Chain A
Amino acid sequence: MIPAFSPFLAVRYLLTRPIVALGIVGVAFSVWAMLVVDAVFTGFVGDIRDDVQRSTAGLLVTDLPHETSYEQLQAAIEADPVVLHTAPRLRHYGMLQALRESRIPIASSEVDFNHMEGGFALLLGIDPAREMQVTGLATWLPRAEKVLEQKYGRPILNPQTILQEPDPERLSLMKVPDATEWTQRERNGLPHPPTPENFRSEWPGILLSYRRLPILPMRVGEPLDLLSAGFQPAGQGEPTVRTTKVALAFAGYFATGHRLFDETTAILPIETLRAQLGQHISDPGSIDIVTDIAIRPHDGLSKDELRAGQLRIQAAVQKLLPPTSKPCSVLDWEQQNEVFLNAVAHEHSMMQFVLFVVMLVAAFVIYATLHMMVVQKWKDIGILAAIGGSPRGIGLVFLAGGLVIGTLGAIFGTGFGLLSVHYLNDVNDYLAREFQVELFPKSLFDLPRIPCRLETSWAIEVALGAIFLALLVAFVPARKASRMNPVKALSYE
């Protein structure tokens, strides 16, 4: 039972103390911050996860031994009921340089392994036709056109049609149109027939990330050199280093949205990369080597079904590998990006913790306010006891004070939080337009709008958490009040 005098007196005490407003504002601010910052962060994290998923195959067979053949494993993998399509992948590394810049020496100090400004690239060899069945490769090119248009405010690229090539052989090598390569050969002073009529493209194509545009601005068909190296067994003694160089034609820019992938990766035909590694298709002893096999599982599978499929595929692949080889892995998209996603989740948790600390500060303000109130109302406590107030009822006066502060703060904070989330982009646009101040610089993230996702459950948790915290800190002064000796309280001056 809550005695009637407790809330009656609590409200009147609060109304006569302006400092109470500080407590309410503190709670409201912390609730507001927790909702808005978390909504933006959740939006970013959600987008990041979407981008990562977009750049990743549903399942990936990896950790395969050297010189594993795709053909050797394909049938076994595709026999599994969860598998819809597979695609071979070959990963390597190399350095890219536009032919027109070839006379400029690149010093080792200029090689930037983080942002690839020196031309360093992680090479991903793909079979385009198969890759398009497994990942969103076909959408990566139009996405780059859109992102660049948003970034520069005008169309930067013509529609990229390299992956719409009807000839399977030309598609597999991502060859640019014949006339395009001929024009580029002429422009760059490379061997070419006098007229383009009978000319056939020779250079395999390469897709670069749109992020390389500022450092490697290319026209479609423009030649560039790919230099790669690898160790090669050399009979007895130490292995020799084998370097290879191949001319490629720039075939287009791609954008998955996954920054790490986009910044580091260049996509080229798998046969070209195999040839670089000494497995030329025309060589009778060559094998269709892969480092990974990307899998597109059937749609609508549950996590458990997918997990069971992973185990079956791993067992089937392992059976076909040499007995001495290490266990291969079959990873879903989250496992493939486990470190990155864990880092993002960790950052999210840390951010929530920091915001919780803000709320703790607000809670401390409530505590200080109520504690001060207990001290100021020392005599009142004695009066209440003298006219029949129970210790519990007296404590409830101050607990009710905390409840009122917490509830009002939670209501205002949630209200402003919801409004802020709803109008965040409008406010950001207004500030940028009128005052050249961007709260969230969209250009930094290449985003058309600030992603903002406010989970209802989170809003409820935060509001209830704020009220609970206010009650918790109010408990201490309330307990102090309820335990006060009424005679001492009455004689307090």
Chain B
Amino acid sequence: MTPPVLAASGITKNYRLGKQSIPVLRGVDLAVQQGEILALLGASGAGKSTLLHVLGLLDQPTTGEILFDGEPVQNLPVRERARLRHSHTGFVFQFYHLIPELTALQNVMLAGMMTKSVLQYWAIRKQARREATEILEQVGLADRLKHRPSELSGGERQRVAIARALLARPRVILADEPTGNLDSTTADGVVDLMFRIQKERNLAFVLVTHDEDLAQRADRIVRMKDGVVLSSAAVR
């Protein structure tokens, strides 16, 4: 049987506040299969975003294991974790998190520069530019390549962020409230786009949301409360 593309086992995460230790995740188990859309649903403070950060190796769990394709990765060296963050997962955030000094095209191309040296990238610069342009075309931004984030609408910014997450061909997309900052029409467009690409590329998709309607479009909903998984159920 193929191991899940991303799994968490017995994850706890405590934050220190002065002398106090505040538990945010209390023994979370989770497995995401290739091509599956998983919605993490819960109220604010449930631990969804923290779990997403831990799953994406942005944050270290206090205890427990993170497994990529069945291999534990949470104790890898910093540099190796950074490399995996780049090649295995792609992040999409609520507030887009684009670099304001760069154009849409440069923001996407930046993702391709993470693990290549100056010389390596110089050798493939034309190809890298072409790939970034193609992805932006796929997300419908062919005419916005040279626009800076400040010159784009919220929906367009999120599309750039999606394009950036896709550039390194990751196997998992971790999206933290990707429509939380968009109006409903724009949000629908962005969600449609994400799910279309997910299907085309057979990606695993972890979607953090507190929007029940959005969660219902996933394959499975994991409900969380106070750092604990309450339920995990497939959506009909």
Chain A residues contacting B114 (CB-CB under 8 Å) are 3, 5, 384, 387-390, 393
Bound-state CA distance A331–B86 (Å) is 73
- Measured CA separation A16–B101 after assembly (Å): 7
Q: How many residues of A contact B (CB 8 A)?
A: 30
* A366 interface residue per 8 A CB criterion: no
B220 within 8 A of A: no
B residues in contact with A485, CB < 8 Å:
59
Decide if B110 touches A385 in the complex (CB within 8 Å). Answer: no
Write out the residue numbers on chain A whose beta carbons fall within 8 Å of the beta carbon of B164. 387
Task: Give the contacts of A366-406 with B (CB-CB under 8 A).
Answer: 379-380, 382-393
Cβ-closest chain B residue relative to A491? B49
| B101 and A388 contact, CB distance less than 8 A | no
Interface residue ranges of B99-135 to A (CB < 8 Å): 99, 101-102, 106, 110-111, 113-118, 120-122
Known A-B contacts A387-B91, A388-B85; A7 and B101 likewise in contact (beta carbons under 8 Å): no
B53 contacts A by Cβ under 8 Å = yes
Nearest B residue to A392, CB-CB: B79
Contact B82 A487 (CB under 8 A): no
B43 at interface by CB-CB < 8 Å: no
- Find out whether the CB atom of A8 lies under 8 angstroms from the CB atom of B113: yes
Is B113 a contact partner of A5 (Cβ separation < 8 A)?
yes
Contact of B121 among A4, A9, A380, A383 (CB under 8 A): A4
Given contacts A5-B110, A387-B164, contact A380 B99 (CB under 8 A): yes
- B54-91 vs A: 1/0 string, CB under 8 Å? 00101100000000000000000011001101110011
Q: Which residues of B contact A7 (CB under 8 A)?
A: 118
Check if B58 sits within 8 Å of A385, measured CB to CB.
yes
Contact across chains for A8 and B110 when beta carbons are under 8 A apart: yes
Name the B residues within 8 Å of A391 (CB-CB). Answer: 78-79, 82
Contacts of B121 in A (CB 8 A): 4
Of the candidates A2, A9, A384, A388, which one forms a contact with B118 in the assembled complex, judged by CB atoms under 8 Å apart? A2
Docked complex Cα distance between A388 and B82 (Å): 5
Instruction: Say yes or no: B110 contacts A490, CB within 8 Å.
Output: no
B93 close to A (CB within 8 Å): yes
Q: Shortest distance in angstroms between B81's beta carbon and chain A's nearest beta carbon? A: 9
Complex formed: what's the CA distance from A441 to B114 in Å? 58
Bound state CA distance, A486 and B117, in angstroms?
22
Across the interface, B97 reaches (CB within 8 A) one of A383, A392, A393, namely: A383
B78 lies within 8 A of A390 (CB)? yes
Which residue from chain B places its CB closest to the CB of A382 in the assembled complex? B97
Q: How far is the CA of A474 from the CA of B165 in the complex (A)?
A: 30
Chain A residues near B101 (CB, 8 Å)? 12-13, 15-16
Contact (Cβ within 8 A) B78 A2:
no
Cβ of A234 < 8 Å from any Cβ of B? no
Given contacts A4-B121, A9-B99, A379-B97, contact A387 B116 (CB under 8 A): no
- How far apart are the CA atoms of A12 and B122 in the complex, in Å? 17
Q: Are B116 and A3 closer than 8 Å at their CB atoms?
A: yes
Instruction: Give, as a whole number of angstroms, the nearest-CB distance from B26 to chain A.
Output: 18
Query: Which residue of A is nearest B87, CB measured?
Result: A388
Given contacts A9-B99, A486-B58, A487-B59, contact A387 B117 (CB under 8 A): no
CB-based contact B56/A386 at 8 Å: yes
Residue of B nearest to A394 (CB): B82
Q: Point out the residues of chain B lying under 8 angstroms from A385, CB to CB.
A: 58, 82, 85
B111 to A388, Cβ gap below 8 A? yes
For B98, the chain A residues whose CB sits under 8 A away are: 383
Least Cβ–Cβ distance between B19 and chain A, in angstroms: 20
Chain A residues engaging chain B, CB cutoff 8 angstroms: 1-5, 7-9, 12-13, 15-16, 379-380, 382-393, 485-487, 490
Identify 11 new A-B residue pairs, CB closer than 8 A, beyond the known A4-B120, A388-B86, A393-B82: A4-B116, A4-B118, A4-B122, A379-B97, A387-B91, A388-B82, A388-B115, A391-B79, A393-B114, A485-B59, A487-B59
A-B contact pairs, 15 of them (CB 8 A): A3-B113, A4-B122, A12-B101, A13-B101, A16-B101, A386-B85, A387-B86, A387-B165, A388-B82, A388-B85, A389-B114, A390-B114, A391-B79, A485-B59, A486-B59
